[in-house]
Copies of this chain bind each other. A is one copy, B any other.
Amino acid sequence: KTNNPKQPIMKKYYLFAFCLLLTGSLFAQNSNDLKLSVNKGSIKMATEDGQFSFGMGGRVYMDAASYFDDKTDLGSGTEIRDIRLLMKADLWKKWNAKINIGFADGSVSLKDVWLMYKINKNSFVRAGHFLEPFGIEQTESSKTTKFMHAASTVEAFRPGRNLGISYATWGKQVFWEAGLFGSDTNNKTAGDEGYGLTSRFAFAPVQNESGIFHVGMSGIYRTADAAGFNELGEENPKSIRYRSRAATHIEKRRFIDAKVGNADHQTKIGFEMIAATGAVSLQTEYINANVSRNIGEDYTANGWYTQLAWLVKGGNYKYKMKSARLAKPGPGSVELLARYNQTDLNDSGAMIMGGKQKDITIGGTWYVNHNILVKFHFTNVDLDENALNGEENFNMIQTRLQFSF
C-alpha cells in the first residue's frame, strides 16, 4: 500500500470534494428560498437572485399638544396621529407592489396602495393610490418630513393621494414625474369624478460634499368633482375648497377655509428650492392656486414657507435624486429647526375671503435610531379677521414620539 502513496491523497481529494459538495449544497440555495434579515431595523425577506423581496411592518406617531389660547378655546390633549400596517413586495424582478393602510382616528384610510413596473434603473410606471407629484413636502412621507405637520400652505393646496397612473424618470441632476389621476377614492356623490394632470420637474446641479442646490417646479390642472343632481336632473353647481388646520392636528378646526362655488377647474403652480452647505439646509416652496369659475370672478390664492434646519449632531445633509429631496438624517442625529409659513386664502376680487394665516415654528428632532424619533415644537399662529373666529394669535407646544419597523 505504501507503494502507492497517491491513494490516500486521492481519497483526500474525494473527501475534499465531498465536503465541498455537502457545504456547497447549502450555499447553492433554491432560488425560491427567501433570506430573512433585519435591514435598518425592519424585516427584509429576499431571494439571492434579486427576483423577489418582501417586507412588512408598522408605524405609529403619538402626539401631545398644549395650547396657550387667545380667543378660541383650543382642546389640548393627546392622540395617536397615525398608525399603519404595511406590506410590500418586489415581484419577478420588474414589479413592485405596496399596501399601506392607516387606522388613525378609528377609521380606515388608504395610503400608498400601488403597483409599479420598473422600466429601467432610472424610470418607472406606477398605477394605484399614491401622492400626486407636486412639490417637495406633498410628495414626502410624513415619516421623514422635518416638522410634525406639513406647512399650512401645503395642507391647503396639496392634491394628496389619488387613484392614478404616473411615469417618473431621473438622471444625475434631473427628476421628472407626470401623472393622470382620478378623484377621492371614497367619493360617493352622483355624477362623474373630476380628474387631474400633475407634473413635477426638479433640477439639482450641485450635490457634493460642500453643498447641495436644487430648484423645481410643479403644475396641476384638475377639473371639479360632480356635486350630484337637482330634482330636474340637472348637475348641481360644483365647488373647490382650500382649507387648513393651524399647524396642528389635536385641535382639529380649520381656521382658514375658502369654498369656491360655481367652479369648473383649478390650476396650481408650485416653485421649490433646496440649498444646503454642510450641516445647514434651507428649503422653500411657493404655491399659487387658481380656480376657473362658471359664474363670478376667478379665485386666486397662494402661500409659501421657508424652513431652516441644522444638524447639531449627525454630519452633513445628503440628497437623493431618486425622490429629488434631502435624505433622512442618520440614526443618532439631532436637528434644530425653524419655519416661517404664510397662507393667504383671501381674494377680494372673487369676493371670497377664506382667511390668512402666518405661523412660526421652532423645534428639534432627535433621531434615536433607525426606528424611533422624537420631535418637539413651539408654534405661534397669527390669523387675520377673515379666519374662523376672526383675528387672533395663539401659541402651542407639541411633541411627537414616533416609531416604525
Instruction: Please list the residues of chain A having a beta carbon within 8 angstroms of any beta carbon in chain B.
Output: 1-2, 5, 8-9, 11-12, 15-16, 18-20, 22-23, 26, 30, 32-39, 41, 43, 45, 47, 51-52, 54, 56-58, 60, 62, 64, 73, 75-80, 83, 85, 87, 89, 91-92, 95, 97, 99, 101, 103, 105-110, 113, 115, 127-129, 163-164, 182-183, 185-193, 226, 229, 233, 252, 369, 371-372, 401, 403, 405
Provided the pairs A83-B113, A97-B403, A405-B97 are in contact, do residues A191 and B12 lie with their beta carbons within 8 angstroms?
no
Provided the pairs A87-B58, A372-B115 are in contact, do residues A32 and B39 lie with their beta carbons within 8 angstroms?
yes
Kindly state the separation between the CA atoms of A36 and B101 in the bound complex, as whole angstroms: 25
Q: Is the CB of A192 within 8 A of B77?
A: yes
Output the nearest chain B residue to A84 by Cβ-Cβ distance.
Answer: B99
Provided the pairs A128-B60, A405-B97 are in contact, do residues A8 and B12 lie with their beta carbons within 8 angstroms?
yes
Q: Is the CB of A45 within 8 A of B54?
A: no
Q: Is the CB of A192 within 8 A of B75?
A: yes
| Contacting residue for A101 out of B8, B77, B103, B185, CB 8 A | B103
For residue A326, give the distance in angstroms from its CB to the closest CB of chain B.
25
Q: Is the CB of B30 within 8 A of A163?
A: no
Q: Is the CB of A75 within 8 A of B5?
A: no
Besides the known contacts A23-B23, A108-B108, 20 further A-B residue pairs in the complex with CB atoms under 8 A apart: A1-B5, A2-B2, A8-B8, A9-B11, A12-B12, A15-B19, A19-B22, A34-B43, A56-B56, A60-B115, A62-B115, A73-B191, A75-B190, A75-B226, A79-B185, A80-B110, A80-B129, A80-B185, A91-B371, A95-B371
For residue A120, give the distance in angstroms from its CB to the closest CB of chain B.
19
| Contacting residue for A108 out of B91, B107, B185, B229, CB 8 A | B107
Kindly state the separation between the CA atoms of A79 and B113 in the bound complex, as whole angstroms: 12
Output the nearest chain B residue to A78 by Cβ-Cβ distance.
Answer: B182
Kindly state the separation between the CA atoms of A45 and B43 in the bound complex, as whole angstroms: 9
**Cβ–Cβ < 8 Å partners of A129 in chain B:** 62, 80
8 tightest CB-CB pairs across the interface, nearest first?
A: A78-B182, A77-B193, A22-B23, A58-B99, A34-B36, A89-B405, A78-B163, A106-B186
**Cβ–Cβ < 8 Å partners of A115 in chain B:** 60, 62, 372, 401, 403
| Contacting residue for A163 out of B20, B23, B62, B103, CB 8 A | B62
For residue A78, give the distance in angstroms from its CB to the closest CB of chain B.
4
Most buried by B among A11, A73, A187, A229: A73
Most buried by B among A9, A78, A109, A191: A78
| Contacting residue for A127 out of B47, B56, B103, B401, CB 8 A | B401
Output the nearest chain B residue to A129 by Cβ-Cβ distance.
Answer: B80
Kindly state the separation between the CA atoms of A192 and B76 in the bound complex, as whole angstroms: 5
